[in-house]
Amino acid sequence: MFFGFSLERAIGSYSSSVVAIFLGGAVGVIVLGTIQWLLLSRWVSKSSQWILGNAMGVLSSVIVGITIHNIGLVFNLYMLFLVALLVVLIYTAITGAVLTRLLRYPIAKP
C-alpha cells in the first residue's frame, strides 16, 4: 500500500487517488509475491502458484475489509481493530492453505 499512497500524493484528486492506491497496492502485491516466489522456488517445484495464491489472499481480504467499511460497521476504533484482525485472518488462512499445498511438492535433491 505504500506505493499507492506515494502515487496518491503525486496525482492529487480524490478519484485518481483511489485509483492510485489500488494500482500501488497491486504493484506492491506483485513485487512482494514475485520476491516470495523466487525464494520458494529453491525448495518447492510448483512455486509459481504462490504468486496467484498470494494475490488471491490479498484480494479477498481487501474486498472483505472494504465491504465491511462501506456497509458502515466501522464506527469506532474497536470495530476498526476487529475488521483489521478479520482481514489479516482471511489473508493468513488463504496464503497458509496455499503454502501448505505447495509444500507437498518439494524439489528432489540429487
Q: 53-79: per-residue pLDDT in tens?
A: 988 998 898 888 888 878 887 778 888
Share of the chain above pLDDT 90, in %: 16
Q: Give which of 109, 107, 110, 4 is closest to 46, Cα–Cα.
A: 107
Same domain? 61 vs 22? no
pTM of the model: 0.72
User: What residue type is 16 in one-letter code?
Assistant: S
Same domain? 61 vs 79? yes
Total number of domains in the chain:
2
Q: pLDDT confidence of 17, banded at 50, 70, 90? A: low
Same domain? 4 vs 34? yes
Same domain? 58 vs 87? yes
Same domain? 49 vs 33? no
Three-state DSSP at 46 gives: coil
Strand partners, 106: 44
Instruction: Quote the domain boundaries for residue 72.
Output: 45-110
pLDDT tens readout for residues 78-101: 888 888 899 999 999 999 999 999
